[in-house]
Amino acid sequence: MSASDAPDRTRPPPTPPASGRGAVSAALATAAARFAFSPTARLDAELLMAHALGTTRSAILIDPDRYAVPETFAALVDRRAGHEPIAYITGTRGFWSIDLAVGPGALVPRADSETLLVAAQAHFGNRAPTTILDLGTGPGTLLLAALAEWRARGLGIDQSAAALGYARANAVALGMADRAHFIRGDWAGALDARFDLVLANPPYIATDDALPAEVRDHEPHAALYAGDDGLADYRLLARQLPLLIAPGGAAIVEIGATQGSAVAALFAAQGLSTALHHDLGGNPRAITAT
């Protein structure tokens, strides 16, 4: 699409005729009813409407009668009704202080993962890490959020070429291409370097555990499942982390809500000291290893 064909988002959309007033609110209610499987059904509908209109969710909430329902909305609703993740439909997900492009082949960033960045802030205090490693970077989620927080340089590693494509594009879009480097690999097996901050969100779902359809049927299984007990990748990381953490640095690793004791024991067996961090819901969510 050429620049002349692009929608002019600087002009307000035309106000629908009186006969069409309330149509957006009604369409949102109908869509939310179809999304009964989602704990955020109404929010899902609002995000899709904002995406279809090329505006913000807050603008719609302030004055829904300012807008007419776009023809593209119905198709978006159908996709979500098929349990496709909202982030895949809109192509973006906000995380920490940044927006990330995401899509099939890349794990959708979760707000719970922001716990790792909060833990990193607590560890470094007034200091700042200058080198950052993100193992299993996906679309660059943790690395790029950390680089937005600190003027550092970082390396992201993932085995998925599709995820790395998103990561590199996100680094460019965020103006971080000169500070963020991405390589394809299996954890840190080929690395011979130490980093101030090591971040990781490994797979931690046991093979037989049930997942919502939107996760199970759409997101990459390699980023989700980790053997019969969900701990397979932690066993690998436990052996690698002592060789990756620089003096005064830390590794901060996401965990499943029931895995704190098991992961801490694996890390302790490798001589690491650990601390547990909880997410905003009060669930165990991350372990700091030093």
The CA distance from 107 to 2, in Å, is 31
pLDDT in tens, 224-239: 999 999 999 999 999 9
pLDDT tens digits for range 86-111 = 999 999 999 999 999 999 999 999 99
Neighbours of 170 (CB within 10 A): 28
For the four alpha carbons of 123, 172, 155 and 104, in that order, the dihedral sign comes to: positive
CATH topology of domain 95-289: Rossmann fold (3.40.50)
Q: Where in the chain is the domain with CATH 3.40.50.150?
A: 95-289
For 18-82, give the CATH class: mainly alpha
* DSSP 8-state class, residue 6: S
List where CATH 1.10.8.10 sits in the chain.
Answer: 18-82
**pTM (two decimals):** 0.91
